[in-house]
Structure 1
């Protein structure tokens, strides 16, 4: 077993956090092509948004001891990221873990595996992302696990303190080596342009002309002549 200290994200100021809360991961996806978890990791609630720092935990197939410890150590605003080391059968998060996370004001829980107790989790209201549901749960065995080490979740390496931005469309991991200001400026510019694009579409313009798809197609055919 290994338990390391929590890692802060010093780049994530309250102002930047508020700005990230107003942009969608899908909008950032127009400009960034990595850091997105596999679509199999989906929100189990609807109309959710997570912006917070990664608090990581790795567990073995059927031992949830370190999940209980991690949810007890994480701080308000953290996102519990759980690496299930490939197991897709045992649920390591259910009603009590979700309730504990809500009580400690965590931003959410993201699992590379299933959860259980979905009705109770919906009542609790804390965002939970997982690969699905399972009635088979992990046990408190005290055999293995790690907290605040780099983990794998949804095909993405997540380091403690990484910025997590997630909504109903999926999960994005932004490492601390990225320039958050630059990421935000591009995403905000795209979102600010959307109302104008919609007005032009209403006025009869075609999407392919507005998005420059027409010019790219024309360029292609001119090249292959």
Structure 2
């Protein structure tokens, strides 16, 4: 792609829904749902809390980081910056100053399908950041390519502005707005039910006996 494509910011998300999402663990949703999980190569590099937000998408190409700077000036509280690096695995597009800019705008987090830099600063700032790795090479201001709030690819998943993002140290899940509440509420119910399972394990029951998952022909031991 060449040139700049500018879309419009998505609608804000109800803060109560974002709070509900933060009660759900992505790994719990992964027990019953398979779509929208970013590839495991994208990992937490800074900030460890679970967070949820509205996807604001950026395609940032090669050495030209101007479109990301534009996005940082548009972020609102509760937005989650999702950055498609168009296959670049060598040049970092986000560092300490840009992470601070996102944090001060109220961003819920940032995910980069590529590299970031200034790891010590990122950790000190505390904004949740996910990326594929670190690099000392960085983008420059070109202003000639990229997209903002247009569909992107991140971690093997197509992400549109306005999708909802739920992320923690185990991984990142992208959900459409209409499915997010149902997924979160089902996960929260499972997490509450799991407390009973944990209690039974501590009381001495076996895991397959509790779950009813013995192999065929196997006698279940209590």
Q: Contact 2:48–2:128 at 8 Å: present in 1 too?
A: no
| Deviation per residue, 1:131-181 (Å, 9 max, x gap) | 011101111111100000000001111010100000111111001342x33
Partner of 1:183: 183
TM-score, normalised via structure 2 length: 0.92
- Partners of 1:16 and 1:73 lie apart in 2 by 22
**CA displacement at 1:124 relative to structure 2:** 1.1
Partner of 1:204: 204
Would you tell me which structure has more strand in proportion to its own residues?
A: 2
| Deviation per residue, 1:112-134 (Å, 9 max, x gap) | 00100010111111111000111
Is 1:86 matched up with 2:84? no
TM-score, normalised via structure 1 length: 0.91
Is 1:61 matched up with 2:62? yes
- Partners of 2:19 and 2:104 lie apart in 1 by 22
Gaps of 5+ in 1: none
Is 1:218 matched up with 2:216? yes
| Structure 1 residue ranges (4+ consecutive) displaced by more than 4 angstroms after TM superposition | none
**CA displacement at 1:47 relative to structure 2:** 2.6
**CA displacement at 1:46 relative to structure 2:** 4.8
Secondary structure of 2:10's counterpart equals: coil
**CA displacement at 1:184 relative to structure 2:** 2.2
Secondary structure of 1:61's counterpart equals: coil
Gaps of 5+ in 2: none
- Partners of 1:203 and 1:102 lie apart in 2 by 45
Q: How many residues align?
A: 215
Q: Which shifted more, 84-93 or 12-21? A: 12-21
- Partners of 1:93 and 1:57 lie apart in 2 by 12
Partner of 2:129: 128
